[in-house]
Amino acid sequence: MAKVIAAPITLGSAAAIPLGQGRCYVVAGEEIAVFRQRDGRLFATQNRCPHRQGPLADGLVGANKVICPLHAHSFHLETGKGGEPAECVQIYEVSEVDGQLVLNMEGVAVETCR
């Protein structure tokens, strides 16, 4: 039985994520990685890499991709699709409103992967 978050969640200042990096937030017991790409785009995914549970928030980010720090598996941040066959991560909607990060997990089941 999956948890569903009913309303958008404010994660605090967007500036708390260093430019070009990611940061891990724990939302209702789930680790979510939020990334702030150098071009200003924001992305959110599950934090743990499906391969060996590496922390994606500590990965390298660019060109709408993240590379896991443990074994360099990569994931598209727009689609969640992985570089390896049959690997993917859950993605979430995230935006910046008045300098605040807003994560919208409404209606999205946590820990599933499309």
Partner 1 sequence: MNEGRRKLVVVGNGMAGARVVEEILKRAADRFEIVMFGAEPYGNYNRILLSNVLNGSQSATEIFMNPLSWYRENGIRLHAGVKAMRIDRERKVVVGTRLQKAALAYSIQDTAEPDTAPVEEPYDNVIIATGSRPFVPPMEGFGGPGTFLFRTIDDCSRIADCARESRRATVIGGGLLGLEAARGLLTHGVEVTVLEAAPQLMITQLDPEAGDMLRQTIEAMGIKVMCNTITTKIVRTDGRITHLEFKDGTTLDTDMVVVSTGIRPITEIATASALTVNRAIVCDDQMRTSDPAIFAVGECVEHRGMLYGLVDPIWEQAKVLADVLTGTRSDAAYQGSKLGTKLKVMGVELASMGVTKPADANDEVVVYREPRRGIYKKLIVRGGEIAGAILLGDVESAGTLMQMFLAGIKAPERRADLLFGAPTGVGLLKVADLPDNAQICNCNGVSKEQIVAAIQDKGCHSVSKVGFCTKAGMGCGSCKSLVAQLLESYLGEVAYDPSEHFYVPGIPLEKSQLVGEIRNRGIKSVSEAFAQLTGGTEDPGSKVGLASLLKTLWPGEYEDERDARFINDRVHANIQKNGTFSVVPRIYAGVTTADELMRIAQVAVKYQVPLVKLTGGQRIDLLGIKKEDLPGVWKELGMPSGHAYTKAFRTCKSCVGTDFCRYGVGDSIALAQKIERRFQGVESPHKMKLATAGCPRNCSEAYVKDLGAVAIEGGKWEIYVGGAAGGSVRKGDLLCTVETHDEVLLYMGRFMQYYREHGKYLERSYGFLERIGIDTLRKILVEDSLGICAQLDAEIQKAVDAYRDPWTEAELPVYPAQFSGPELAQVLEVAENNG
Of 94, 85, 106, the closest CA to residue 32 belongs to 94
Q: Counting contacts by CB under 8 A, is residue 92 touching partner 1?
A: no
**Single residue of 54, 82, 90, 92 touching partner 1 by CB under 8 A:** 54
Q: Binding marks (x or -) toward partner 1, 62..81, rule CB under 8 A?
A: xx-xxx-xx-x-x-------
Q: Counting contacts by CB under 8 A, is residue 42 touching partner 1?
A: no
**Single residue of 43, 45, 46, 47 touching partner 1 by CB under 8 A:** 47
The b/e string for 58-69 (b: 16+ C-beta within 10 A; e otherwise) is bbebeeebbbbe
Q: Counting contacts by CB under 8 A, is residue 41 touching partner 1?
A: no
Of 87, 93, 86, 96, the closest CA to residue 108 belongs to 93
